[in-house]
Chain A
């Protein structure tokens, strides 16, 4: 019986004069999942609506992942006419009663269009009376009803009862561009999701050292980015082979510093690519104290290698919280596939956990950093575009 989907916007409504810009980004996000150009997306007094008459459940499910939308509901759209509303509400309650166990109900009418001649309270009474008159075995319960029928009066009138959570946050692309350092682990996909949710248009960069790591671990990264793109929109993944850098570190630096120096290289390469391809920031899944390279001292030394903002949305999260989000966004099962840890032969047995900048810089002084970055970026980058 549904012929429309309504969407309530979240923080966008607070954006004052920039609201148009945010709504425009939201439109782009919606268009991405609504391929059929014949389906009309339109605004009606602050809410967004979609005229659609088939596959509504699937569309609601897809829209529930779009950032910038807080509530999504399948609804019945009709003319804002009292008689028509009366008939449709009775029909709607009948429809719900047939499919679900509905013994009590409540009408909740709201006029966004204040020129509508009947006030909300009065309309509640009229519509409630109409239902009681026409349908048997149903009672009104204003406190704890089985069914709340929302009657939302705008240019048109929308009748609905189901409310699903949307993706929340802000529309993708409304808050700049960021490059996520995506590993195959649990954290970085969550970081990617979190920043996407705050409106950042994200792409990813992933480091490997094939043939010392497996092609399968790159396939896993592709799989993760495909899952994430459901939320973030189509993404690009830069795959960078840094074997040559590991080789040079191995030859010239102290083993215990390997991870820190390698991380500094990853940051530098990411920064170069970010500046070249116009990203505003780097994003990592680092969580304080989780591993040796994520102690506060290590983060300081790693941070020092670049002068671009590094956003770490998970820095204060516990692992269990991160896992919970990873499960919610469907990346967890893929993340725990064990390819990347295999043969982590470059990880030192006893990594330094309290590095000092002086010592690291001194050790790094044995390498031609500029040249290594340049040659890596020009020779060892491949790009994958998500589905």
Chain B
């Protein structure tokens, strides 16, 4: 049995959600836009499921669209800068963002004459709010904020940040990448003064290829995808009713168990941290523990290469992830690590352990024992 500790990358589909997916596939495969009764039945399932997703963030269903996942959500949110009139041509973003934010900004810069500026971040992974506010000028049209950073799990205080921005200029659009917080942390979009927020299904044990986008003002929304006018003309394309139903089920479970899961994960997280500290010398935990999501531990181990450690661990069916310079050949160096200023002898040994619903506290001992053993072995080969 695998000990899967890469839940920030993706998760195993929840069993209830999987059964429901198949059930809906078998019976409600009709197009929900169809006029006949089968279409209507599918539409009912669809609407019911959307509500469950909306409940998770306390949104109304007309403020929510289904997307193909976090990437589309982020692209679409940032795309909203194009609806602004006049000289609002600048996006403020940061190196803490996911590639689906940063590379989309680069695309807009190259093809749409949008100007991109990066605001500063602190060594613990938090946003330098003062710097952000100082960079706002009459050209600023949109600001992006990562709710929970996917590498180190730092949780930003969205409300404080958005309020400060809107106080300065309430016409500035704020897009939040909510993917790593969705279904894990309490989100109430009504309390956050933001314009769009993206979500993903597969990070919380839902089906893959699906996500959502919260839209504060659907009446002023600029779609990214055009076609048959589905989802109130906001996002065309035939709705994948079975996956959406399964996603709805997943959201329902996430809401039901949110607090329980949070506390359980916090305990697992602490157990891992304690054991790691105890058993391995020369390690640093990246980010600030107090403001970090318990679902993610990011650490750097001196004088190893994380990719080698990952291969050692996979032999014991333990799966963690890296994101360090070592894999830069084909994944691109993570901009998050740039901002954290991790020293050279540590940065290549950076790994991320991320938890999900099926993670177990009792695995910690076995996992840390293996990490410790392999770290020694790798150091022997690498240290001269």
Contacts and interface: CB of A to CB of B under 8 A. Distances in A.
Interface of A: 210-215, 246-247, 250, 255, 337-339, 341-343, 345
B381 A343 contact: no
A339 B311 contact: no
A211 B312 contact: yes
A212 B381 CA distance: 10
A341 B329 contact: yes
B329 A211 contact: no
B314 interface: yes
A59 B326 CA distance: 45
B384 A255 contact: yes
A211 B315 contact: yes
B311 A342 contact: no
Interface in B272-315: 305, 307-308, 311-312, 314-315
Contact of B305 (A215, A246, A255, A343): A343
Contact of A342 (B307, B314, B384): B307
Given A211-B312, A338-B330, A247 B381 contact: yes
Interface of B: 305, 307-308, 311-312, 314-315, 326-327, 329-330, 381-382, 384
A345 B381 CA distance: 9
B6 to A, nearest CB: 16
A16 to B, nearest CB: 53
A-B interface, 8 closest residue pairs, ranked by CB to CB distance from nearest: A211-B311, A338-B329, A211-B312, A338-B330, A342-B329, A343-B305, A212-B308, A343-B307
A341 B328 CA distance: 11
A147 B125 CA distance: 72
Contacts of B311: 210-215
B16 to A, nearest CB: 33
Query: Which applies to chain A's interface (DSSP): helix, strand, loop or mixed?
Result: loop
Contact of A214 (B307, B315, B384): B307
A250 B305 CA distance: 17
A249 to B, nearest CB: 11
Contacts of A343: 305, 307-308, 326
A343 B324 CA distance: 11
23 contacts: A210-B311, A211-B312, A211-B314, A211-B315, A212-B308, A212-B311, A213-B311, A214-B307, A214-B311, A246-B381, A250-B381, A338-B330, A339-B330, A341-B329, A342-B307, A342-B327, A343-B305, A343-B307, A343-B308, A345-B305, A345-B308, A345-B381, A345-B382
Contacts of A247: 381
A337 B308 CA distance: 19
Nearest to A213: B311
A345 B307 CA distance: 11
B317 to A, nearest CB: 13
A315 B305 CA distance: 35
Nearest to A215: B311
Given A250-B381, A345-B381, A211 B330 contact: no
A373 to B, nearest CB: 21
Contacts of B384: 255
Contacts of B330: 337-339, 342
Contacts of B327: 342
Contacts of A339: 330
A215 B381 CA distance: 19
Given A338-B330, A339-B330, A343-B326, A211 B381 contact: no
A211 B375 CA distance: 13
Nearest to B329: A338
Nearest to A246: B381
A246 B377 CA distance: 13
Nearest to A214: B311
Contacts of B326: 342-343
Contacts of B382: 345
A341 B330 CA distance: 10
Contacts of A338: 329-330
Nearest to A211: B311
A255 B381 CA distance: 11
Nearest to A251: B380
A343 B329 CA distance: 10
Nearest to B306: A343
Nearest to A250: B381
Contacts of A215: 311, 314
Contacts of A255: 384
Contacts of B315: 211
- Give the most central of B308, B314, B327: most A CB within 10 Å: B308
Contacts of A212: 308, 311, 381
Nearest to A339: B330
A21 B291 CA distance: 77
Nearest to B374: A211
Nearest to B384: A255
Nearest to B309: A211
Nearest to B330: A338
A74 B311 CA distance: 51
